[in-house]
Amino acid sequence: MHSIKNTHLVSAETLFQSLQSDFANEINIKLYSSLSIEYAHVYDVINVYFLEIIDGAVFTITVNENEIELSNNGDVTEYNTDLLEQHLHDFLLERCS
C-alpha cells in the first residue's frame, strides 16, 4: 500500500473524473499499448479494473482529506502489476501532491 499526502485537497469525485479522462491515455502512451481501463467509484473509494488482463479490481484508491491510499489487489504471483501500479502511483502523485 502506498500513501500520498493530499496537499491539493483532491476529492474522490475529482480524482475519479481525472482518472476517467486522463489516466488511460497517459498510461497507453507510456507503455505503447491500448489497455482498456474501467473504474468504479463509491463515496471515497475508487476501484481500478484492467479487465483484459486481470479479473476483479486490481487497485483500490481510498481518498480522504489528508491522504490518498493506493492498494494493489492483483495476484502478483500470476500477473506482474508492479509496472501498472507505478504508473498509477505517479499519476496520483502528480494530481494530488
Residues 22-31 pLDDT 10s: 999 999 999 8
- Cα dihedral 40, 31, 72, 68 sign: negative
Task: Pick the closest to residue 71 from 81, 30, 79 (CA basis).
Answer: 81
pTM for this entry: 0.91
Residues whose CB is less than 8 angstroms from the CB of residue 17 and which lie 6 or more positions away in sequence, other chains included: none
pLDDT, greater one: 92 or 74: 92
What nine digits make up the cell of 47? 476501484
Residue 56 has pLDDT above 80, yes or no: yes
CB-CB contact of 15 with 41 (8 Å): no
**pLDDT for the residue numbered 41:** 96
Residues 69-91 pLDDT 10s: 999 987 666 667 888 899 999 99
